[in-house]
Chain A
Amino acid sequence: MDGTAILPATGRPAPSRPLLSVQDLTVQFGTRAGTITAVDRVSLDVAEGETLAVLGETGSGKSALAQALMGLVPGPAGRVVSGRINYDGTDLLARPRSYTRRLCGTELAMVFQDPLSSLNPVLRVGVQIGELFRRRRGASRAEARRKAIELMERVGIPAAARRVDDYPHQFSGGMRQRVMIAMALALRPRLLIADEPTTALDVTVQAQIMQLLADLKAEHRMSLILISHDLGLVAGVADRVMLMYAGRVVETGELREVYQTLAHPYTRGLMASIPGLAGPRERLTPITGSPPDLLRLPSGCRFRPRCGFATEACRASQPDLLPVPTGPESHRAACHHAEEVVADGRSG
């Protein structure tokens, strides 16, 4: 089958040079018990206007990856050991940290999971949003306030002109996340990194926030890296997905291609773990066991002890992230038995 023909055109011009290109990034954390490699030789590209979803469970390394991209790996325990983070033609890791710092806000911005701990509780939200304009754009107090109201309106905070003088605790969880998004977008960044932006929110509010991110992304032609544990949540907005397990990328490709042709047993196990909203209620077929201790990784493939396809080859060597046979070039999986997994999925 001609793989590239499976996907419908997305209606976007073909991406040229990626805005962000990460190569072989490795992040380690020193703990009392030893050094753990939270992110292990991860590479990724994000084109202008594109949304990449980074998916994984607890301990997969997805958040450490986001921290590394923003230059926020908490030292001295954590550090970027090797790799390159190429942003718009500049290797950020080769430059002093102040360089990345300067890009934050105007080029790169981040939205975190817990908006309450990311906002200053004793400052009015208008002041916090406006501060960006005062510091980075030299705006006057009045001008910053006006800009703050404008942004709050844009992210859907009702009665923005009144609420601009409220404190963070006076906002609901969903509204606080809107404030965070307003701050992240204040200086019109070209790349937004959203780390579990809706995890703490109710499902109806989660839908509002995802809608808002999708609208803003389209409006600004912004690139988005969406970090999540929820395979369903990202399906509505992401162009491509990247699944992580124990610090490694296990599968990546166009979202629809990956979700329809699962090529890694882990991705397949995750998908089978989600109870459906329609169709017959069947017994779930979860992945057995639990994720490995990063201090005591199994030899060869890290997923091996939980994998039904595992053979001697999986014990002997760690699989590389390679194009899935019979699939498009962009669909890659790190599994010695990817072909078998795909074939098994088609027959089952």
Chain B
Amino acid sequence: MAGPADPLLSVRDLYTSFPIRSAFLRREVGRVQAVSGVSFELAAGRTLGVVGESGSGKTTLARTIIGLERPESGRVVFDGRDLPDLSGAELRRARRQIQMIFQDPYAALNPRLTVAQIISEAWAIHPGVVPRGRWTAEVKDLLARVGLNPDHADRYPHQFSGGQRQRVGIARALALRPRLVICDEAVSALDVSVQAQVLNLLVDLQADLGLTYLFIAHDLSVVRHISDEVVVMYLGKVVETGTVAQMFTAPVHPYTQALLSAVPVPRPWAAPHRQQVVLAGDIPSPMSPPSGCRFRTRCWKAQQQCAAAEPALVDRLAGHRSACHFPELPARARTAAVVRP
């Protein structure tokens, strides 16, 4: 399925860390490695889902790609150009083409601006996208496109429901005609009936505008619904990646298996062969990740070797890659034993 065309976004061996500062004098006493050697490629017009628990580094990954954090090392190549190296006009052009939709539709919109002002602010910052004379008409077009009443352009965010506000956030992201949209938990805060509406909207927009999505979420059923490929992160590292079909029918990494089995399904009796893995403990602190395999402290397969050496991300079958010393063959993972520690 992966075409020979160049990817729109290519992330190579990316590292991002934050300083840990002492309470006194704010001296740097160490670093938290939030993103630790992440690589992936995302082709134009496709959707890559990034999943992981809080502390897995998925938000830092997004912020680094969009330029809100500076990477320690590694490359972020967008449309053939290395983003951290760009400056001036080139950087502005690249930034315009990458937009973000945030999780909290209440916090992400300025309460003192009308919806029209919120959306057209971007055109003031990036002149040349939409001429000023067209702003009003363009705002109405965008509102209609995201399923809002175009006549509500002069309303303030508090006059909208949560789902409607998220649509405003989407309209704002689309205002600059981006090619890549990063959705950071974009539907997580919404009620399930509204979440489904927004998911459908995102699917439609992708089809109509040829958008490419980097879709970050903790909800695996949502990620399965919208993605072509999936990356599973744990403590800053990619532990498994592959197509949606590969990952959801035959996950090979124990962490992915555990994540999948933890998703509540409404009719459990209809899926009697579902694995039941209840992981013990919490995700360790990224300030002091375990040696070797970072997942080993919660893994039921862990052996001596896992503490000693870090497993590499290895191709198991047709681009389905996992980082585990004791991988199951993808074809056999489907009938993996029921584990219940």
A277 touches B282 (CB 8 A): no
A208-B264 in contact given A277-B224, A286-B196 (Cβ < 8 Å): no
User: Interface-forming stretch among B4-12, B29-37, B84-92, B160-168?
Assistant: B160-168
Tell me if A203 is interfacial: C-beta within 8 Å of chain B.
yes
Cα–Cα distance between A211 and B341 once the two chains are bound (Å): 12
Cα–Cα distance between A211 and B262 once the two chains are bound (Å): 11
Residue of B nearest to A276 (CB): B221
Most interface-central of B224, B248, B265 (chain A CB within 10 A): B265
Tell me if A127 is interfacial: C-beta within 8 Å of chain B.
no
A residues 92-108 with Cβ under 8 Å of B?
A: none
- Residues in A with CB closer than 8 Å to B70 are none
A202 touches B53 (CB 8 A): yes
- Residues in A with CB closer than 8 Å to B259 are 203-204
- Residues in A with CB closer than 8 Å to B54 are 202
Tell me if A270 is interfacial: C-beta within 8 Å of chain B.
yes
Least CB distance from B221 to A in Å reads 4
- Residues in A with CB closer than 8 Å to B302 are none
Could you mark each residue 242-262 of chain B with 1 if its beta carbon is under 8 Å from any beta carbon of chain A, else 0?
Answer: 001000100000000011111
Tell me if B113 is interfacial: C-beta within 8 Å of chain A.
no
Cα–Cα distance between A335 and B318 once the two chains are bound (Å): 51
B278 touches A271 (CB 8 A): no
- Residues in A with CB closer than 8 Å to B192 are 57, 229-231, 270, 273-274
Of A275, A285, A290, the contact of B164 (CB 8 Å cutoff): A290
A207 touches B278 (CB 8 A): yes
Could you mark each residue 184-213 of chain A with 1 if its beta carbon is under 8 Å from any beta carbon of chain B, else 0?
Answer: 000000000000000000111111101100
- Residues in A with CB closer than 8 Å to B203 are 283
Least CB distance from B7 to A in Å reads 23
- Residues in B with CB closer than 8 Å to A233 are 264
B53 touches A203 (CB 8 A): yes
Tell me if B145 is interfacial: C-beta within 8 Å of chain A.
no
Cα–Cα distance between A57 and B192 once the two chains are bound (Å): 8
Cα–Cα distance between A206 and B162 once the two chains are bound (Å): 24
A273-B266 in contact given A204-B259, A208-B278 (Cβ < 8 Å): no
Tell me if B314 is interfacial: C-beta within 8 Å of chain A.
no
Of B225, B263, B265, B282, the contact of A203 (CB 8 Å cutoff): B263
Tell me if B199 is interfacial: C-beta within 8 Å of chain A.
yes
Tell me if A294 is interfacial: C-beta within 8 Å of chain B.
no
A203 touches B269 (CB 8 A): no
A residues 267-288 with Cβ under 8 Å of B?
A: 269-278, 281, 283-288
Least CB distance from A179 to B in Å reads 14
A259 touches B283 (CB 8 A): no
Q: Count CB-based A-B contacts (< 8 Å).
A: 121
Could you mark each residue 197-230 of chain B with 1 if its beta carbon is under 8 Å from any beta carbon of chain A, else 0?
Answer: 1011001000000000000001111101100000
- Residues in A with CB closer than 8 Å to B244 are 281
- Residues in A with CB closer than 8 Å to B268 are 235-236
Tell me if A175 is interfacial: C-beta within 8 Å of chain B.
yes
A277-B263 in contact given A205-B282, A284-B225 (Cβ < 8 Å): yes
- Residues in A with CB closer than 8 Å to B197 are 286-288
A202 touches B218 (CB 8 A): yes
B260 touches A275 (CB 8 A): no
Least CB distance from B14 to A in Å reads 23
A175 touches B161 (CB 8 A): no
| Interface SS, B side | helix
Cα–Cα distance between A234 and B161 once the two chains are bound (Å): 26
**Number of A interface residues, CB 8 Å?**
45
Cα–Cα distance between A175 and B280 once the two chains are bound (Å): 12
Tell me if B267 is interfacial: C-beta within 8 Å of chain A.
yes
B53 touches A269 (CB 8 A): no
A277-B262 in contact given A203-B220, A284-B196 (Cβ < 8 Å): no
- Residues in B with CB closer than 8 Å to A288 are 197
- Residues in B with CB closer than 8 Å to A256 are 269
A211 touches B278 (CB 8 A): yes
- Residues in A with CB closer than 8 Å to B200 are 283-284, 286
Least CB distance from A132 to B in Å reads 26
A275-B199 in contact given A231-B266, A232-B263, A236-B268 (Cβ < 8 Å): yes
Tell me if B335 is interfacial: C-beta within 8 Å of chain A.
no
A172 touches B282 (CB 8 A): yes
- Residues in A with CB closer than 8 Å to B161 are 290-291
Of A229, A271, A277, the contact of B220 (CB 8 Å cutoff): A277
A232 touches B199 (CB 8 A): no
- Residues in B with CB closer than 8 Å to A275 are 196, 199, 221-222, 224-225
- Residues in B with CB closer than 8 Å to A290 are 161, 163-164, 194
B191 touches A58 (CB 8 A): yes
B282 touches A236 (CB 8 A): no
B282 touches A175 (CB 8 A): yes
Cα–Cα distance between A210 and B164 once the two chains are bound (Å): 32
- Residues in B with CB closer than 8 Å to A210 are 264
Could you mark each residue 138-170 of chain B with 1 if its beta carbon is under 8 Å from any beta carbon of chain A, else 0?
Answer: 000000000000000000000001111000000
Tell me if A174 is interfacial: C-beta within 8 Å of chain B.
yes
B262 touches A259 (CB 8 A): no
Cα–Cα distance between A285 and B191 once the two chains are bound (Å): 14
Tell me if B281 is interfacial: C-beta within 8 Å of chain A.
yes
- Residues in A with CB closer than 8 Å to B162 are 58
Contact residues of A with B, CB < 8 Å?
57-58, 158, 172, 174-175, 202-208, 210-211, 229-236, 256, 259-260, 269-278, 281, 283-288, 290-291
- Which 7 pairs across A and B sit closest by C-beta, in order of nearness? A286-B196, A232-B264, A275-B225, A273-B196, A207-B262, A57-B191, A202-B53
A-B contact pairs, 11 of them (CB 8 A): A202-B54, A203-B259, A208-B278, A208-B280, A229-B192, A235-B265, A269-B193, A287-B193, A288-B197, A290-B163, A290-B194
